[in-house]
A and B are shown apart, each in its own frame.
Chain A
Amino acid sequence: MKKILTLLMVFMFTFAPLSAAFASEGGGPDGNKRKGKYTYRKVYKACAAAGNVESATPKISPADKTMAQWKEIFESRNFNEFGCADNWAALSDNDILDIYSYFYHHGSDSPTPATCQ
């Protein structure tokens, strides 16, 4: 019983800050969205340089989906539709949080929808 409680505590202390960061005040992430925009662009520059995509300009923009849709994608960490899987896998949790913040706060139903040009 004691072991289970200890494991539970460890689990809580490990994942609670991460989930808190992903779902902060108002349900939106609070990473550096400005930084996230360039980190996201860098992913595709690197991906294009490696010859895995034709254009260094990302095809998917924050304004392509609603804030709720981006929340679902980033919280499930399912980045398949973005392509460039190797480059996404190399990103740190903070980088992903920044990109998530950029996408969420500029989603199609946000006050400032953004496209990547």
Chain B
Amino acid sequence: MDLRYLMKYCLAGIAVAIFFCSFSIVSASTPNNGKEALGRTLAKQAVKKSKRWTTTNHAKAEALNKNFKTGEEITKACLTCHSEAATQFHKTIHWTWLASGDKSDMRYGKAGYSVNNFCISGNAMEDKGCVKCHTSWNKKGDKGEVNCLKCHNSSGFNFDEAFSDIKSFSEDGDSDTDEMVPDIQQDVKNAVSKVAFPTRKNCGECHFKGGGGDGVKHGDLDTSLTKPNRMLDVHMGTDGKNFSCTRCHTTTDHNIAGRIYTNPAVETRKSLIEDDLAPKITCVSCHSDAPHKNDSKMNDHTDVVSCQACHIPKYARVNPTMTWWDWSKAGKLKDGKPYHEDGPFGKPIYKSIKGEFKWEKNIVPEYFWSNGSLTSTTANDVIDPSQIVKVSHPVGDKNDPEARIFPFKIHRGKQPYDKVNKKLLAPMLSGKKGYWTTFDMEDAIKTGNKTLNIPYSGEFDYVETTYAFPITHMVAPKENALNCNECHIRENSRLSNITGLYLPGRDKSTLIDTIGWLSVIGALIGVLLHGIGRFFVRNGKEE
């Protein structure tokens, strides 16, 4: 063999060896030799211990071994040991229902000017239908005592009903019911002793049923998450990690980590490696910002695409969620009486007291740039009724370093607005003067807006609105994450409405495409000419 050919073969061999070596070096730099993604390894370390422990048996607590007659008496008993609990809790949004935590700033919050396109307003805690989810006893709102058991009791016992029965039986003068009181008090005592860390059921009693029923509001939070399997949520699945809500929604002084109206859940994404006291509320907290295997192209996405965008391919995967609520259709009667009609999924599609609804299941999210904040249109903001009003909408664009492409549920509907003042209205729904009793929207608006001290002109109509919910629960197993061609495709890309970036596969630039094709054709012609040239010239020389 010619020496020159031998050298050529050697050089080719070296090139191939370098090519394969580069792969093995990349793999070797993974801490676990490439068997598992770094993000998984870190997350496993972050949640190693699964059992919480306590030094207290509340069943033995002297203060709780009493015949309680009211919920307030139970709270007093709790505070004999947990002396600062109520003081701490009074400063949280779970108590104030105000984003600011202070009544001097009513701008955002259920107890403030915030509205949505479900039951619209909390009417400054005057709507008792809403206040049943407040963490106080007897629907007294922030004027009452903290109901510690709402979050810290695992019995599922209906304390409010029991105390109401005790009161009624003690006062009705019936000797039969007098005998029932000690039995009820014993039931109360048994239930009180079941003090526990908040369970999924405790949180879910309000957060799974927001908007007036199971799955009405969020789409990624409903009663299917009370006992989910791994396929529904890899973190909460009882056949998997079995996380309670508080595993990620960590707490400081009774302040629970999570998004609060316009404020993002966290200002910056930090992993627990950077700050071990950081809340575990973001994916990055446990999985880091390079969660996939080192050689994975996916890691190049994390500065633009949120984890949720790929790992929650659809939401409302078990129970349906409401997607449309039209208040303009409310108030119809049959034979002079209110009625309701059920539709697909066994869910109501019409209720005289609420209007018309639509429900859907297995919904593909809508995607927007989001830096974790949301803009809100409150009952005190001026709107343009000729447009669809965005009551809540994500904030962010591609130039915002904190923004990522994020999945959302957009709930659409029609709700009343003031035709003169051009503001969304806050009708009172429950109670004697509420719409659900009177079916008089005009009167309900007058009563409702009065609770917020917002003037009403006396003329109203209905305007179409949207409300955005970030989709962040119901994380699917990795094998069910999105494929590349769900987004990187010309037709029907999931990211078809995302602007401001060039998305290969989805986007087309005539200039870039022309340059590209010219390069390819040019290279082919060059190779061809070069080959032909060498064939003739060399052949001649060698011969």
Least CB distance, B436 to chain A, in whole angstroms: 10
Q: Which of B173-181, B325-333, B491-499 contacts A (4 or more CB under 8 A)?
A: B173-181
Least CB distance, B47 to chain A, in whole angstroms: 32
Question: Which residues of A70-117 are within 8 A (CB) of B?
Answer: 117
**Proximity string of chain B (166-186) to chain A, C-beta cutoff 8 Å, 1 when within and 0 when not:** 001100001011001001100
User: Are A38 and B156 in contact (CB-based, < 8 A)?
Assistant: no
Q: CA separation between A117 and B187, bound complex, in Å?
A: 11
**Proximity string of chain B (144-163) to chain A, C-beta cutoff 8 Å, 1 when within and 0 when not:** 00000000000011100000
User: Are A38 and B183 in contact (CB-based, < 8 A)?
Assistant: yes
* Residues of chain A with a CB closer than 8 A to B158's CB: 117
* Residues of chain A with a CB closer than 8 A to B168's CB: 34
The reply on B142 being an interface residue by CB < 8 A is no
The reply on A35 being an interface residue by CB < 8 A is yes
* Residues of chain B with a CB closer than 8 A to A32's CB: 174, 177
Q: CA separation between A117 and B156, bound complex, in Å?
A: 8
User: Are A38 and B184 in contact (CB-based, < 8 A)?
Assistant: yes
Question: Which residues of A32-62 are within 8 A (CB) of B?
Answer: 32, 34-35, 37-38, 42
Q: Among B156, B157, B180, B183, which residue has its beta carbon within 8 angstroms of that of A35?
A: B180
Least CB distance, A49 to chain B, in whole angstroms: 13
Q: CA separation between A32 and B177, bound complex, in Å?
A: 10
Does more than half of chain B's interface fall in helix, strand or loop, or is it mixed?
Answer: helix
* Residues of chain A with a CB closer than 8 A to B169's CB: 34-35
User: Are B156 and A34 in contact (CB-based, < 8 A)?
Assistant: no
Please tell me the number of chain A residues within 8 Å of chain B, measured between CB atoms.
7
The reply on B360 being an interface residue by CB < 8 A is no
Least CB distance, B432 to chain A, in whole angstroms: 15
**Smallest Cβ-Cβ distance to B156: which chain A residue:** A117
Q: CA separation between A97 and B42, bound complex, in Å?
A: 63
Q: CA separation between A35 and B169, bound complex, in Å?
A: 8
Q: CA separation between A32 and B172, bound complex, in Å?
A: 11
Question: Which of A34, A37, A117 is most buried by chain B, counting CB atoms within 10 A of its CB?
Answer: A34
**Smallest Cβ-Cβ distance to A45: which chain B residue:** B183
* Residues of chain B with a CB closer than 8 A to A35's CB: 169, 174, 176-177, 180
**Smallest Cβ-Cβ distance to A98: which chain B residue:** B176
The reply on B366 being an interface residue by CB < 8 A is no
**Smallest Cβ-Cβ distance to B183: which chain A residue:** A38
The reply on B443 being an interface residue by CB < 8 A is no
Least CB distance, A97 to chain B, in whole angstroms: 13
Least CB distance, B170 to chain A, in whole angstroms: 12
Least CB distance, B205 to chain A, in whole angstroms: 13
Least CB distance, A58 to chain B, in whole angstroms: 14
Question: Which residues of B351-384 are within 8 A (CB) of A?
Answer: none
* Residues of chain A with a CB closer than 8 A to B177's CB: 32, 35, 38
The reply on B165 being an interface residue by CB < 8 A is yes
Least CB distance, B202 to chain A, in whole angstroms: 15
Q: CA separation between A73 and B165, bound complex, in Å?
A: 26
**Smallest Cβ-Cβ distance to B164: which chain A residue:** A34
**Smallest Cβ-Cβ distance to A94: which chain B residue:** B176
Q: CA separation between A117 and B201, bound complex, in Å?
A: 15
* Residues of chain A with a CB closer than 8 A to B183's CB: 38, 42
Q: CA separation between A54 and B176, bound complex, in Å?
A: 26
* Residues of chain A with a CB closer than 8 A to B176's CB: 35
Q: CA separation between A7 and B392, bound complex, in Å?
A: 74
* Residues of chain B with a CB closer than 8 A to A38's CB: 165, 177, 180, 183-184
**Smallest Cβ-Cβ distance to B177: which chain A residue:** A35
Least CB distance, A57 to chain B, in whole angstroms: 11
Q: CA separation between A32 and B174, bound complex, in Å?
A: 11
* Residues of chain A with a CB closer than 8 A to B174's CB: 32, 35
Q: CA separation between A117 and B157, bound complex, in Å?
A: 7
Q: CA separation between A38 and B179, bound complex, in Å?
A: 11
* Residues of chain A with a CB closer than 8 A to B157's CB: 117
Least CB distance, A39 to chain B, in whole angstroms: 8
**Smallest Cβ-Cβ distance to B184: which chain A residue:** A38
Question: Which residues of B459-476 are within 8 A (CB) of A?
Answer: none
Least CB distance, A10 to chain B, in whole angstroms: 30
Least CB distance, B272 to chain A, in whole angstroms: 39
**Smallest Cβ-Cβ distance to A35: which chain B residue:** B177
Q: CA separation between A38 and B176, bound complex, in Å?
A: 11
* Residues of chain A with a CB closer than 8 A to B165's CB: 34, 37-38
* Residues of chain B with a CB closer than 8 A to A37's CB: 165
Q: CA separation between A117 and B205, bound complex, in Å?
A: 15
**Smallest Cβ-Cβ distance to A111: which chain B residue:** B436
* Residues of chain B with a CB closer than 8 A to A34's CB: 165, 168-169
* Residues of chain B with a CB closer than 8 A to A42's CB: 180, 183
Least CB distance, B543 to chain A, in whole angstroms: 99
Least CB distance, B136 to chain A, in whole angstroms: 21
Least CB distance, B248 to chain A, in whole angstroms: 29
**Smallest Cβ-Cβ distance to B158: which chain A residue:** A117
**Smallest Cβ-Cβ distance to A38: which chain B residue:** B180
**Smallest Cβ-Cβ distance to A37: which chain B residue:** B165
Least CB distance, A95 to chain B, in whole angstroms: 9
**Smallest Cβ-Cβ distance to B436: which chain A residue:** A111
Least CB distance, A66 to chain B, in whole angstroms: 13
Question: Which of B156, B174, B176 is most buried by chain A, counting CB atoms within 10 A of its CB?
Answer: B176
* Residues of chain A with a CB closer than 8 A to B180's CB: 35, 38, 42
Q: CA separation between A105 and B453, bound complex, in Å?
A: 38
Q: CA separation between A113 and B165, bound complex, in Å?
A: 17
Residues of A within 8 A of B (CB): 32, 34-35, 37-38, 42, 117
- In order of increasing CB-CB distance, the 7 nearest A-B pairs are A38-B180, A35-B177, A34-B165, A34-B168, A117-B156, A35-B176, A38-B183
Interface CB pairs A-B, < 8 A, 13:
A32-B174, A32-B177, A34-B168, A34-B169, A35-B169, A35-B174, A35-B180, A38-B165, A38-B180, A38-B183, A42-B183, A117-B156, A117-B157
Known: A34-B165, A35-B169, A38-B183. 10 other contacts (CB 8 A): A32-B174, A37-B165, A38-B165, A38-B177, A38-B180, A38-B184, A42-B180, A117-B156, A117-B157, A117-B158
